[in-house]
Amino acid sequence: MTDRDAVTVGPQSSQASSAGPPAADPLIGAIVAERFKILERVGEGGMGAVYVAQHVALQKTVAIKTLRAEMHSAPEVRARFEREALAMARLEHENVVAATDFGQLQDGTFFLAMEYVEGRSLRAVLNETPKLAPLRALKILRQIASALSRAHSLGIVHRDLKPENIMLVPKKQDDGELTDVVKVADFGIAKLLDTERGPSGERLSTAGNIAGTPEYMSPEQAQARTVDG
């Protein structure tokens, strides 16, 4: 799975290509946090990377999201990463990507272990099929609403809900037909209404700051006003 902070890198420029092939990722094949074997890197962005890994003892596939070392000195970035872990840990819902572990690797890199989702984003589906069948759209929307209702009951407002952050996992029904199981992802800029600070004490939001994707913001969010469910 990929998300806003783990977008696959596109073709390199000719200047970058002349520098030779990229260095091998030292995490590939390594066992990190004494329990996860990194299998491959599936996405990367300005803040970090996302890997597919296997829990050594449980033989279970998970996704590992890491925060780049150079980002550790930025309190707001580190707090956002911790906030995502905290929000996902609170949320136990079938339509939310589950967080299973959080901590630091041997070199100090922060990581978040998550449920591995084998599916496609709603954005990818809409790019191919701009108009979904009404019944399919209704089923997707009901699951999103169920996930958000649970989040709001726990004092969590997503603040970046958009097609890119909605994963659709195909599931075969009893009649043999496929249906979509929704997984809401990326709580990196979620608002925790019952606290202003993350696990390490950093302030999680600053008055007057606007965070999110403009096309999908509520009016109050776009105006840096108080947001709620």
Q: What is the mean pLDDT of residues 149-164?
A: 92
Rounded CA-CA distance 44/41 in Å is 8
Global pTM?
A: 0.75
Question: pLDDT value at position 212?
Answer: 75
Tokens 């600070």 -> residue: 197
Q: Do 112 and 64 form a contact (C-beta atoms < 8 A)?
A: yes
Question: pLDDT value at position 176?
Answer: 83
Q: Do 110 and 104 form a contact (C-beta atoms < 8 A)?
A: yes
Q: How confident is the model at residue 129 (pLDDT cuts 50, 70, 90)?
A: very high
Rounded CA-CA distance 99/1 in Å is 13
Rounded CA-CA distance 105/33 in Å is 5
The reply to whether 160 belongs to the active site is yes
DSSP state for residue 163 in the 8-state scheme: G
Question: pLDDT value at position 21?
Answer: 55
Q: Residue 17 in 3-state DSSP?
A: helix
pLDDT at residue 204 greater than cutoff 50: no
The pLDDT mean for the chain works out to 81
pLDDT at residue 3 greater than cutoff 50: no
Strand ranges of the sheet holding 99-104, from the earlier edge strand across to the other edge: 31-32, 36-44, 48-55, 60-67, 110-115, 99-104
Rounded CA-CA distance 97/150 in Å is 13
Question: pLDDT value at position 209?
Answer: 59
What are the pLDDT digits (tens) for 169-199?
999 988 888 999 999 998 877 887 765 444 4
Q: Do 66 and 51 form a contact (C-beta atoms < 8 A)?
A: yes
Q: Do 2 and 42 form a contact (C-beta atoms < 8 A)?
A: yes
Q: What is the mean pLDDT of residues 4-23?
A: 42
Q: Do 51 and 62 form a contact (C-beta atoms < 8 A)?
A: no
Q: How confident is the model at residue 22 (pLDDT cuts 50, 70, 90)?
A: low
What are the pLDDT digits (tens) for 82-95?
888 888 888 889 99
Which one from 3, 5, 160, 186 is the annotated catalytic residue?
160
Residue type, 58: L
